[in-house]
Structure 1
Amino acid sequence: MGGGGCACGRVHESKVQSVRICEASCEEDLLSLLEGLHLEGDVLCVADEYTWEVQGKEVYQELRGHLGRSVRSFVFPGRKRLHPDEHAVGALTISAHSGVGMIVAVGSGTINDICRFVSFVLGIPYLVVATAPSMDGYASSVSPLLVNGKKQTFPAHVPFAVFASRRVLQEAPAELIRAGMGDMIGKRTALTDWRLSHRRKGEYYCPEVASLMEQAVDAALDSLRSGDGATGVDVTALMEGLVLSGLAMEYVGSSRPASGSEHHLVHYWEYRLLDAGVEPPFFHGSAVGVATLCIAHCYAFMSARLPDLVSDLGLVPPSPSEVHALLVSSGLKIRPAQLGIDGNLLHDSIRQASELRPHRYTILQMAREMDLIDDMADYVVSHLGG
C-alpha cells in the first residue's frame, strides 16, 4: 500500500523497514540488521526489570559481544508497573541524550511508548523487540503519555524495525495476550466512529486504510480460531494483526483508525483512578475490550432512538451481542465492575470522556449534540453497571 497515490488523495508511506517474527530467537536477525546500518554513537538497550529478564539481557549481551560498537543498557528500576509519564520520559532522555545513536526498546506497550517519544525528541532512530502481543502501537507514529495524570497523545518516531520471537510471545503472561485481543476488538467501534465523523462532519477518511484495519482485526480474530497454548491464541497471527494496526495509524498520521470513543472511556477511567491515588487494576487493552462493549451499547441506544439517522449514515456498528461473544471467546472481562469501575464512574465516563479529546468526533459527541448524553449514560449503566 505504501509509496503510491491513494483514491483518498493522499500518499501512504511507512518508515517501518522490517517486521520479523522469528520462531525461537531474534537476536541474530537483529544483529545482522544493525551491522548493515551506518550509525553514529552508542546503541542503548532499554527495558524494565521484567522485560530485561525475559529478553533484554539476551539482546544486550548479543549486541555487546558481536556488534563492534559500544552498547549500553538502561533498565527502569522496580517491579511496580511502569507508567509512560514525565518521570520515565525524563529519566530515559537524560540517559540517552549524550552519545547515543540508536535506541533498542525491549518490551511491549509502555517501554515502546517511552522509547518512541524519546527517540523523536532526540532525533535518533529506534527499533523494538516485542515481548508480548499486548497492544497495537508497535508500528505507530504517536505516543500516548501521562502528563499530570492525564493521557495525551504526542507525535513520535516510528520504529524502523519490529522484531519478535514466537517463543517469547507464547510465554508472555496470559493477561497481556488477552489485552492484545481487547485492543483489537476495540477497532470495531473505532472504525465506526471514524466513519460517523466523516459522514456527519466531513472529516478525512480513507477506505483503503479502513480496509487495512479490518484486515488487522480479522487477523487477530483468526488467532483465536488457530490458537494453541494456555490462552488458545495463535500469537503470530495476533502479533501480525497488531503490527498491521500500527501501520494503518502511520498511513494517516494519527491514531484515528484505531482509537475512538472506546479508548476515551478507558483514558477517562485511568485518569479518574490515578487522580484518586489508585493504580488502575487492569491492562489497557483488556479495559478497551470492556469499553468496546459499552460503546456498542451506545450505538444500540442511538439506533433505537434515531433509527433513520443511523441507517441514513450507512453505519454498521458492532452489536452488543457480537462484542460480548468476542470478549468471552478471548477470555476477557465483560463488565466495567470487573475492572473496578463502578456504576457512578461508568455514568460519568459516558457523559464526560469526550471532553478528553473534544476535536475527535465520536458517538459520544453526537449524543451530546442531540442532548441525549444523559439518557445514553443511563442506558449503558442499566445494561452494564451491575
Structure 2
Amino acid sequence: MPVLTRLVPSPLVVDIRAGALDDLGTILADQRISASGRLAVTVSGGSGAALRERLAPQLPGADWFPVAGGTLDSAVLLADQMRSGHYDAVVGLGGGKIIDAAKYAAARVGLPMVAVATNLAHDGLCSPVSTLDNDAGRGSYGVPSPIGIIVDLDVIRQAPPRFVAAGIGEAVSNISCIADWELSYRETGEAVDGLAAAMSRTSGNMMLRHPGSLADDDFLGALAEALVLTGISMNVAGSSRPASGGCHEISHALDLLYPTRSAQHGEQVGLGGAFATFLRGDLDLCAQMATVLSRHDLPVTADQIGFTDEEFIAAVHYAPQTRPGRFTILEHLDLDPTAIRDAYTDYVKHVSTSA
C-alpha cells in the first residue's frame, strides 16, 4: 500500500519562552539559518529600535534597516536597500507592521525570513500573508511564511497590553471563521481542508478555554502558540480561509470606510466573530465568546471601539464586497441595513447579559 503524505510548509524553529532573545544569535547559527551572521535586520522606530542596542553585540555581521511602517512603499524600499547585501536571511524585529513589511521584502529578494515578535497583536507573525497599506487602502499579499519564529515573553510583557490582548480577539475569531467555512461547504460545496480547520479551531479554543490572563507566562505562551498554529493552518490550506471569515470582512470594511478611526485588527475581528456567531444562531457560543473577550478588556460592541451603531451596521452591509468570492454567514443571509440593525440590536441585548 502506498504511503500518501503531503508536505506542509512550517517554521524550522519556533522558540517561545522568557529570555529567548538572549539566544537569538545562537538560534540563527545552530539552525543553519545564518552560519555566517550576514543578516538584514529590520526594525521599527519604537520597540524594535529600543532592542537594537541590546542585540547588536550578538549579531556583529548584521546590517540594520529602520522601516517607517507597514506600507507597500516602505516594504518595496526595504527590498531595494537589501538587494546588494548578500545576506543569509532577513530578521523582522518588531510588531505586526514591521514583520509584514519584512516578509514582503524578503519575498522580493528571495531570502528566508525570521519573525521576532515584540507584541502578539495578530497572527501575521507566522502567516503566508503580508497586509500592507497602499494607495487604494490596504492589501493582502501572498508571501512565504517565516522559517523562524522567536517570541521572548519578557519582551511581550513590555508591550502595550491593548496590543497583546488584540491577539486574543484574532485567535478567538478563528472559531467563527471555521464555522463560516463549514457553512460554505454545506451551501456551495466549497472544499474544507480538515487539517487546516482543526489547527485553526484548536487555536481559537485554546484562547476561549484558557483561564489565565496577560499577567501569566503560561497564558502568553499559549497565545503565541495559538497565533503560530493559525499561521501554519493557512499554509496547510494554501489560503487565508482557515482564519478569515465574515468577522474579517467586517474588519476590512471598518478599515476601508473609516480609515482614520479603525481600531486594532484583533479587536475588530473579535467583535466581528461574536456578531457573526450570533447571526448563525449559535447563541451559547456567542455568549461564551463575549464573556472571554470582555474578561480580557476586548470590545464586544461597536461603541467600545469608537463606532456608532449606524457605522457598524454600514460596515456589516459593505463587508461582503471586501472579499469577492468568499462565502460566509454575511453572504448567506444577505441582510439589508434594516435587518442588520435589528440583528445588531438583538445581539447587543444578548451580549450585555452575558459579558
In structure 2, give the amino acid aligned to 1:356.
Answer: T
1:303-330 Cα shifts (integer Å, max 9, x gaps):
xxxxxxxxxxxxx686432221121122
CA 1:353–1:93: 2 relative to 1, 3 Å:
same
User: Could you say which residue in structure 2 is the equivalent of 1:285?
Assistant: 266
CA 1:383–1:61: 2 relative to 1, 3 Å:
farther
Q: Aligned match of 1:45 in 38, 41, 45?
A: 41
CA distance in 2 between partners of 1:272 and 1:139 (Å) = 28
Q: Aligned match of 1:359 in 315, 325, 334?
A: 325
CA 1:323–1:379: 2 relative to 1, 3 Å:
farther
Q: Secondary structure at the match of 2:307?
A: coil
Q: Aligned match of 1:250 in 235, 241, 253?
A: 235
1:62-96 Cα shifts (integer Å, max 9, x gaps):
111xxxxx31111135xxxx3x2223223312322
Q: Aligned match of 1:204 in 191, 212, 215?
A: 191
User: Could you say which residue in structure 1 is the equivalent of 2:156?
Assistant: 169
User: Could you say which residue in structure 2 is the equivalent of 1:379?
Assistant: 342
Q: Aligned match of 1:74 in 50, 65, 68?
A: 65
1:232-274 Cα shifts (integer Å, max 9, x gaps):
9721111111111111111111111011110111111111122
1:162-219 Cα shifts (integer Å, max 9, x gaps):
0111211222211012101010111111111111111211212122221122221233
Q: Secondary structure at the match of 2:243?
A: coil
- Give the deviation of 1:352 after TM superposition: 1.4
Q: Secondary structure at the match of 1:359?
A: coil
Q: Secondary structure at the match of 1:225?
A: coil
Does structure 1 conserve the Cα–Cα contact (< 8 Å) formed by 2:112 and 2:146? yes
CA distance in 2 between partners of 1:73 and 1:331 (Å) = 36
CA distance in 2 between partners of 1:337 and 1:240 (Å) = 31
User: Could you say which residue in structure 2 is the equivalent of 1:59?
Assistant: 55
Give yes or no for the alignment of 1:325 onto 2:291.
yes
In structure 1, give the amino acid aligned to 2:307.
Answer: I
Question: TM (normalized to structure 2)?
Answer: 0.88
In structure 2, give the amino acid aligned to 1:120.
Answer: A
User: Could you say which residue in structure 2 is the equivalent of 1:298?
Assistant: 279
User: Could you say which residue in structure 1 is the equivalent of 2:352?
Assistant: none
Give yes or no for the alignment of 1:85 onto 2:71.
yes
Structure 2 gaps of 5+ residues are 350-355
CA distance in 2 between partners of 1:55 and 1:360 (Å) = 40
CA distance in 2 between partners of 1:163 and 1:238 (Å) = 13
Q: Secondary structure at the match of 2:48?
A: helix
CA 1:29–1:44: 2 relative to 1, 3 Å:
closer
Does structure 2 conserve the Cα–Cα contact (< 8 Å) formed by 1:189 and 1:292? yes
Q: Secondary structure at the match of 2:104?
A: helix
CA distance in 2 between partners of 1:221 and 1:293 (Å) = 12
Structure 1 gaps of 5+ residues are 65-69, 301-315
Q: Aligned match of 1:260 in 245, 259, 268?
A: 245
Does structure 2 conserve the Cα–Cα contact (< 8 Å) formed by 1:113 and 1:143? yes
In structure 2, give the amino acid aligned to 1:260.
Answer: G
- Give the deviation of 1:148 after TM superposition: 2.3
CA 1:149–1:345: 2 relative to 1, 3 Å:
farther
Q: Aligned match of 1:97 in 48, 60, 83?
A: 83
CA distance in 2 between partners of 1:228 and 1:294 (Å) = 24
Give yes or no for the alignment of 1:154 onto 2:141.
yes
Stretch of structure 1 that moved more, 194-203 or 290-299: 290-299
Aligned residues: 345
